[in-house]
Amino acid sequence: MRSFFVYYLKILWLIALAQQLTGSAIKTTSEKAYKKLMSLRSLAFEDCGSLYKVNYLNIDGCSKTPCPMARNSSVKVTVLFDDNGNGVSFLKHEVSWLFTYSTKAAVITPDPCDGDHHCLVSLAEGKSYWANIFVTPTLPIMRGNMKWEGLSETKQTLICFEVPVVITL
């Protein structure tokens, strides 16, 4: 199901790209369908003050929250957001693990995302970025939240979301 979805997503991106080139009139229809699909398929998250609307969140190995996060592993996170045509080309990640009695800073790669590693991609409908989060082996085996902030070069919060996770062995 998920691989079918990824395939479908690729087709949509191609359509969007083609429409960007031809300036087709059916663009609005596809845009609506795309946004609907994104919001239907996204993991549930809480927005904590994004400047730009986050349309879609995917965390590898997670189909519903709380997302299992295995200690000592790297987990890929993919986000689609609408930068309102502002050409965002830099994101500094500030990510933390929030537990009831403690907060730990998370290690993200690549960080910042500045266009190297193809970590930030322009789509007809906005931007997409990916990054790997390292699940530190010393994190407590319990439920918590992953708080993700993407900052501009001037430290403005462009993206902020929180998603429930559970640290596993």
Ligand X SMILES: *[C@@H]1O[C@H](CO)[C@@H](O)[C@H](O)[C@H]1NC(C)=O
Does 61 contact ligand X by CB under 6 A? Answer: no
142 Cβ contact list (under 8 Å, min separation 6): 99, 100, 166, 167
CB of 113 to ligand X, least distance (A): 24
Can you spell out the DSSP letters for 52-84?
A: SEEEEEEETT-SSSSEEEETT-EEEEEEEEE-T
Specify the residue, 61 or 137, whose C-beta has the smaller distance to ligand X: 137
Query: Minimum CB separation from ligand X for residue 73, in Å?
Result: 8
Residue 109 sits in the site that holds ligand X (CB under 6 A): no
Query: Does residue 137 touch ligand X according to CB under 6 A?
Result: yes
Q: Which helix (H) or strand (E) holds 141?
A: none
The binding track of 21-50 with respect to ligand X, each residue x by CB under 6 A or -, is ------------------------------
Paired residues of 18 in beta bridges: none
Residue number, 13 or 134, with CB nearest to ligand X? 134
Paired residues of 120 in beta bridges: 129
Q: DSSP 3-state assignment of 136?
A: coil
Query: If binding is defined by CB under 6 A, does position 72 make contact with ligand X?
Result: yes
* Least distance (Å) between residue 74 CB and ligand X: 9
* Residue found by looking up tokens 């062995």 in the block: 169
Distance CA(111)–CA(90), nearest Å, equals 10
Nearest distance, CB of residue 137 and ligand X, angstroms: 4
Q: Does 168 bind ligand X (CB under 6 A)?
A: no
> What count of other Cβ atoms lies within 10 Å of the Cβ of residue 74?
14
Binding-residue total with ligand X (CB under 6 A): 2
Q: Which residues bind ligand X (CB under 6 A)?
A: 72, 137
